[in-house]
Amino acid sequence: MRADLEIIEEWVRPGSRVLDLGCGDGELLAHLMKQKQVSGYGLEIDHDNITLCLEKGVPVIEKNIDDGLVSIRNHSFDTVIMTQALQVMERPDQIIDEMLRIGKECIVTFPNFGHWRARGYLAFRGKMPVSKFLPYTWYNTPNIHFCTFKDFERLCVERNIYIQERTVVDHSHRDHWWIRLWPNMLGEIAIYRITR
């Protein structure tokens, strides 16, 4: 399993009710259902991923998260998770508000645009960063709202969101001591546990 998902697994309590926004092929939920006896759903829009979820027995609901989550009651989930999808949302701030409304706590992961490679790419080449990890060009990228860890944490301060825990890893989702020294420069993906 992806290393970031292993970190998330540690943060999810056994038997809890989980909503995974942009659940992909259902890997995380399938794992959590098996290992932690969680219940819940994945929300997904990609057709192939929906089929993969169904084949795994992961409850998946076809839904565009940008359309909102109004039908879901306040605090009706123990944990709302969004891995690597925040940057494709139309309004990441609103979706975080929604996640915190329906979930008692939320886990969010996203790529760090403040990483030294992205900075260097723009600074020295004068072009929007393209990498193996972020392979799109500016005009066709689904990633429309990049931010850095600092940006995200500033949003949390402004919106009274409490960061309970943060782990910063490299693109292979590995934790290194040197990343902890200067996460916004050296970390590529952050995993946040937030509440309000």
Partner 1 sequence: MSREYPQDSVGLVQPQVLHFDQPLELVCGQTLNSYTLIIETYGTLNKDGSNAVLICHALSGNHHVAGYHSDDDKKPGWWDSAVGPGKAIDTNKFFVVCLNNLGGCHGSTGPASINPETDKPYGPDFPIVTVRDWVNSQVRLADHFGIQQWAAIVGGSLGGMQALQWSIDFPERLRHCLVIASAPKLSAQNIAFNEVARQAISRDIEFHDGHYYGENTVPRTGLMLARMLGHITYLSADGMGEKFGRELRSDNISFDFTPQFEVESYLRYQGKRFSTAFDANTYLLMTKALDYYDPAAEYDNSLSSAVAQTQCKFFVASFTTDWRFSPERSREIVDALVDAGKQVSYAEIDAHHGHDAFLIPIPRYMEVFSAYMKQVEADTPAIESHDTVGGTDNAC
Among positions 61-80, residues that touch partner 1 (CB under 8 A) are 61-63, 71-73, 76
What is the 8-class DSSP label of residue 188? S
Q: Which is nearer to partner 1, 24 or 111 (CB)?
A: 24
Q: Which stretch binds partner 1 (CB under 8 A): 1-9, 59-67, 165-173, 178-186?
A: 59-67
Q: What angle do CA 38, 88, 61 make, to 5 degrees?
A: 40
Question: Of the two residues 51 and 172, which places its CB atom closer to partner 1 in the complex?
Answer: 51
C-alpha to C-alpha distance for 27 and 11, rounded to whole angstroms: 16
Binder of partner 1 out of 6, 34, 55, 90 (CB under 8 A): 55
State phi, psi for 40 to the nearest 5 degrees: 145, -165
Task: Rule CB under 8 A: say whether 17 interacts with partner 1.
Answer: yes
**What are 2's two structure tokens?**
């992806």
Instruction: Please give the DSSP secondary-structure letter assigned to residue 23.
Output: -
Q: Which residues bind partner 1 (CB under 8 A)?
A: 17, 39, 41, 47, 50-51, 53-55, 57, 59-63, 71-73, 76
